[in-house]
Amino acid sequence: MKVLGLETSCDETGLAIFDSSQRHNTNQGLIGQVLYSQIELHATYGGVVPELASRDHIRKLIPLLNQLLNECQLQKTDIDAVAFTKGPGLVGALMTGALFGRSLAFALDIPAVGVHHMEGHLLAVLLGQDAPKFPFVGLLVSGGHTLLVAVKGVGQYQILGESIDDAVGECFDKTAKMLGLAYPGGPNIAKLAETGNPHAFDLPRPMLGKGLDFSFSGMKTAVHNLIKDNPTDIDNPNHAQTRADIAAGFQFAVVDTLAKKCVKALQHTGFSRLVIAGGVSANLELRQILAKQLAKIGATVHYAPPALCTDNGAMIAFAGWWRLRAGQCDDLAVSCLPRWSMSDLAKVD
């Protein structure tokens, strides 16, 4: 089955084709993907402007589909099903993909399925060479979500903990903005942190002792206070080390908090595998510290290939295929769910 995946939940227009008959190949069945990032469009605003995002998805969907079909040497009529991101995300952005995907499927007389964006992130790990077996604990860390989930199979998700305020990615982005770095902040903070001392400043680890929920707004305030009390002018070379130290201290505090909660979640479930997914899972410091901490309790950490950590169409095509092969699909009505809990998803046998 060839599934066209469409991702438009935020600021990335991602399209890909997953062919289940080629799952045994080294590409794991992913026969082509194209991605257009709107980063430049939003850069001047320091964050995603929802209306601009929707308009740009509309502009890019058809040219990107044509480019993808060309690269795969396929016709539209070769596609067997369409999977689109149904939620969670920005309502206008989601609607562009839902309308486009549902209409295309209707015109081609093939099924369409709406995919949960975070399930897409989570299952992307199965597209890599390092695919873990079920069950595992999932740490989902993106611009909009911070979740710890017990995963017993596809669609069998129990939320163990989540952020009560800012998402981790959002916290990276806001800290980057305070340091005068461009959006998205995660990769820029990580780069600046390379030359910093993570122990120069002591940042809080909020809610460490309290169950499996997270809170990151206190960390953001702590960074704000550090910046107020220390000179961090981006144009002054004398301030470069302080900036790097703040970035490193912040990154270390976030990663340390996440790692400790992951160890707790593994001990709580008795599972021995952890999957990290979503944009922040691209963070190398997070991967390294998790590998070290988990080795101490005999557990392993798994993540998707780098290109599949941040938003993309491949994860949507792949998650859609799991649901389509179980006979699940959407009806003809076009709908999206900007707020949608993973625990409400149907089980896939």
The smaller minimum CB distance to ligand KG4, of residues 30 and 280, is found at 280
Tell whether residue 14 is a contact of ligand KG4 (CB under 6 A): no
For residues 92-115, one letter each, b for 16 or more C-beta atoms within 10 angstroms of the residue's C-beta and e for the rest, the string is bbbbbbbbbbbebbeebebbbbbb
Tell whether residue 142 is a contact of Zn ion (CB under 5 A): yes
What does the block give as tokens for 306?
């780098």
**Identified binder of ligand KG4 from the candidate list 116, 311, 323, 345, rule CB under 6 A:** 311
Give the DSSP letter of residue 311.
Answer: S
The CA dihedral of 2, 123, 187, 255, to the nearest 10 degrees, is 180
Which partner, ligand KG4, Zn ion, none, binds residue 254 by CB below 5 to 8 Å per kind?
Answer: none
Taking the C-alpha atoms of residue 186 and residue 172, their distance in angstroms, rounded to an integer, is: 5
Q: How far is the CB of 142 from Zn ion (least distance, A)?
A: 4
Taking the C-alpha atoms of residue 72 and residue 282, their distance in angstroms, rounded to an integer, is: 27
Which partner, Zn ion, ligand KG4, none, binds residue 190 by CB below 5 to 8 Å per kind?
Answer: ligand KG4
Taking the C-alpha atoms of residue 32 and residue 68, their distance in angstroms, rounded to an integer, is: 7
Any known ligand binding at 144? yes
Taking the C-alpha atoms of residue 198 and residue 285, their distance in angstroms, rounded to an integer, is: 11
Tell whether residue 143 is a contact of ligand KG4 (CB under 6 A): yes
Cα–Cα nearest to 34, from 86, 3, 70, 1: 70
Residues 6+ apart with CB under 8 A from 285: 190, 193, 251, 252, 255
Tell whether residue 12 is a contact of Zn ion (CB under 5 A): no
**Identified binder of ligand KG4 from the candidate list 279, 318, 324, 340, rule CB under 6 A:** 279
Q: How far is the CB of 303 from ligand KG4 (least distance, A)?
A: 12
Tell me the β-bridge partners of 12: 37
Which partner, Zn ion, ligand KG4, none, binds residue 166 by CB below 5 to 8 Å per kind?
Answer: none
Q: Yes or no: say if 5 and 18 are a contact pair by the CB < 8 Å rule.
A: yes
Given the rule CB under 6 A, which of 72-80, 136-144, 152-160, 288-296 is the region that contacts ligand KG4? 136-144
Task: Please give the backbone phi and psi of residue 133, each rounded to the nearest 5 degrees, phi first.
Answer: -85, 155
Tell whether residue 198 is a contact of ligand KG4 (CB under 6 A): no
The smaller minimum CB distance to Zn ion, of residues 142 and 283, is found at 142
Q: How far is the CB of 143 from Zn ion (least distance, A)?
A: 7
For residues 68-81, one letter each, b for 16 or more C-beta atoms within 10 angstroms of the residue's C-beta and e for the rest, the string is bbeebebeeeebbb
Tell whether residue 283 is a contact of ligand KG4 (CB under 6 A): yes
Residues 6+ apart with CB under 8 A from 162: 145, 146, 147, 148, 213, 214
Tell whether residue 185 is a contact of ligand KG4 (CB under 6 A): yes
The smaller minimum CB distance to ligand KG4, of residues 2 and 145, is found at 145
**Identified binder of ligand KG4 from the candidate list 46, 47, 135, 187, rule CB under 6 A:** 187
Tell whether residue 46 is a contact of ligand KG4 (CB under 6 A): no
Contact mark string toward Zn ion, 307..326, x via CB under 5 A = ----x---------------
Question: In one letter, which amino acid is 193?
Answer: A
The CA dihedral of 307, 308, 310, 316, to the nearest 10 degrees, is 140
Q: How far is the CB of 85 from ligand KG4 (least distance, A)?
A: 10
Any known ligand binding at 143? yes
Tell whether residue 299 is a contact of ligand KG4 (CB under 6 A): no
The DSSP code sequence of 295-307 is: HTTT-EEEE--GG
Q: Which residues sit in the known binding site? A: 117, 121, 140-144, 173, 186, 283, 311
Residues forming the site for ligand KG4 (CB under 6 A) = 10, 142-144, 169, 172-173, 184-187, 190, 278-280, 282-283, 310-311
Q: Which residues sit in the known binding site for substrate? A: 140-144, 173, 186, 283
Residues forming the site for Zn ion (CB under 5 A) = 142, 311
Q: Which residues sit in the known binding site for Fe cation? A: 117, 121, 311
